[in-house]
Amino acid sequence: MTTVAFWAVVVLATAAQVWIVFQGVFFMRLWEDEAFNLTVPLNLVNGLGYTSDGALSGSQLSTFDPRISTGPVVLLPIAAVIALGADPVVGGRLVVFVFYGALVAGLWLLGGRLGGRWAALAAVCVPLGWNTWNSGSPIQSPVDILGEVPAAALLVWAFVVLRKRPWLAGLFIGLAMQTKLLSALAAIPIALALYLLTEGSFLRRAGRVLVCAAVAIVPNVLYELWKLVALGPAGYWKNLHEFYWFFTSGGQNIDPVDPLKKLSALGSGWYSPTWATLACAAIVVAAVAFIVVLAIVRLRADDDNERPNNREPAVFAIAAVLGLIIWFGWWLTSTHTPNWPRYPAIAMYVFVPIIVAVAIRALSELWRAKSWRVPGQVVSALAGAVVVVTLGVQTWGHVQIADESRFGETLADQRAIAADISQADLDVIVTSWGPNVSLIVLAGSRVVLDDVPKWDGTPELWRNWDSSAEGKKEFAEKLRSDCDDVLTRERQYALCALPTKG
């Protein structure tokens, strides 16, 4: 009976994943961060090197733009598929889909190893529960052209191979850092897990950790050498200064954000009600604490069964808890970063599934420790079912918004508008940061921002944010008074030829 129930839930979970991914690749609007990231592979294919349009860097082409926080591990494969003739948006999202498939596969393997098949199922459902959709800087779907999901996939696989192949785990960590630099925050908990799982002397343990660390450095060194050769010493030094500013400021000129608001967001940032999320979190934490204590007791008793395979759940739970503490500690104290769920997303995709899987294992262990008559496998199935149902509620929340689109636009809508804009045959179009950026990239023009005097008089793309009758009337009046000529008008957008200022 439990087997039938398990595979029924697997089918439902798979259908939810397929629906969300399909909508994400072909339906969801291309939003501005995705479009900004796409300018790098597009420019690379067009012979301009690893260069962004520089919309956030003074509106000039920017080689190795520090404001592109999604790294070459994602953008270079996208450039390759574009060069082979793929549509930039669909091709780019399919590249990220490969990483998302790797994330799901890694979580399934890891969850199964740590807590059995129900833990595996719960682990793959966790990432869909974290609500990153409705914010100023969203992850609309797990296949957005962004670095968070690919980085999480690489870190999960670092855990999968950690005990037997520390060098490969190190490579995954290094690649994750070249996908999203924040992945470096996961290095300490992964190193701790490797140290605790290694049998033998201190020197042997430290040696394996050092091998992992040394290999992790390699992708980062290669990338820095590439920058040095491409930019030259002076340009490289300037780029480092700009990167340091961006990394320490988050690139946001905002008032400091109260850490308590971010802490509240961690509890309310799921698709389930906050009270249910907190209740589940309390049960999971208690269960994980039990299995860690149990592992310590067995070690002190010198239990022969307490080999690396058996220690792994407790060790990974400790590493995951430490990872969350480090990640959340950084996010809560970095008051210069906005209260956007993208920032802790990697931690939610990597560490929370591990903790949930270990919790399911812990409940089964607890049942066996009490010597009750119900088999531990049944308890594990019941615990897993409860967790999966809880996560199912959240996954359903994700499914419900998968066919919605921010600002009332789909990718098809954007393509139709961009096709009209492209008829103007402009190399450069000025705009403000927002949905307009995506349309300009889709139209094949270069994006520059309207706050740079150098581009005064360049045709500018405007958007009418007020769809009411009065708003439409005011927008039409603005076009008549401020545009020398309306080059094109499509839905709520207008491309205007402007008079030169001064």
DSSP string, 205-218: HHHHHHHHHHHHHH
**3-class SS of residue 63:** strand
Assess whether 323 and 453 both reside in one domain. Answer: no
Assess whether 226 and 200 both reside in one domain. Answer: yes
Task: Flag whether pLDDT at 58 surpasses 70.
Answer: yes
Element (H, E) at 108: helix 88-115
Distance CA 399, CA 107 (A): 20
In a domain, 67, yes or no: no
Paired residues of 270 in beta bridges: 130
Contact 143, 409 (CB under 8 A): no
Domain boundary among 406, 427, 462: 406
The percentage of residues in the chain with a pLDDT greater than 70, rounded to a whole number, is: 86
Average pLDDT, the chain: 85
Assess whether 371 and 418 both reside in one domain. Answer: no
In a domain, 50, yes or no: no
pLDDT 10s digits, 332-357: 988 888 888 899 999 999 999 999 88
Domain that holds residue 244: 2-19+110-406
Q: How confident is the model at residue 403 (pLDDT cuts 50, 70, 90)?
A: low
Task: Flag whether pLDDT at 80 surpasses 70.
Answer: yes
pLDDT 10s digits, 21-36: 988 899 889 999 999 9
Domain boundary among 376, 406, 436: 406
Assess whether 230 and 358 both reside in one domain. Answer: yes
Decide the pairing of beta strands 460-463 and 493-497: antiparallel
Q: How confident is the model at residue 388 (pLDDT cuts 50, 70, 90)?
A: low
pLDDT 10s digits, 162-173: 999 999 999 999
In a domain, 48, yes or no: no
Assess whether 325 and 241 both reside in one domain. Answer: yes
Domain boundary among 374, 406, 438: 406
- How many CA atoms are closer than 13 Å to the CA of 303, on its beta-carbon side? 14
In a domain, 8, yes or no: yes
In a domain, 158, yes or no: yes
In a domain, 419, yes or no: yes
Our count of domains for the chain comes to 2
Assess whether 306 and 333 both reside in one domain. Answer: yes
Assess whether 374 and 417 both reside in one domain. Answer: no
Assess whether 381 and 241 both reside in one domain. Answer: yes
Task: Flag whether pLDDT at 500 surpasses 50.
Answer: yes
Q: How confident is the model at residue 304 (pLDDT cuts 50, 70, 90)?
A: very low
**3-class SS of residue 494:** strand
Residues 342, 343, 347: CA angle, nearest 5 degrees: 100
pLDDT 10s digits, 123-171: 998 888 888 887 778 888 899 999 999 999 999 999 999 999 999 999 9
- What pLDDT does residue 199 have? 87
First to last CA, the chain: 79
Assess whether 400 and 298 both reside in one domain. Answer: yes
By the 10 Å C-beta count (0-12 exposed, 13-18 middle, 19+ buried), 477 is classed as: exposed
Question: Which residue do the tokens 């009750």 mark?
Answer: 372
In a domain, 444, yes or no: yes
Assess whether 244 and 211 both reside in one domain. Answer: yes
- What pLDDT does residue 184 have? 95
Question: Which residue do the tokens 């009418």 mark?
Answer: 464
- What pLDDT does residue 391 have? 60
Assess whether 204 and 325 both reside in one domain. Answer: yes
Assess whether 395 and 417 both reside in one domain. Answer: no
Task: Flag whether pLDDT at 316 surpasses 80.
Answer: yes
- What pLDDT does residue 362 have? 79
Residue type, 315: V
Distance CA 220, CA 216 (A): 8
Q: How confident is the model at residue 474 (pLDDT cuts 50, 70, 90)?
A: confident
In a domain, 32, yes or no: no
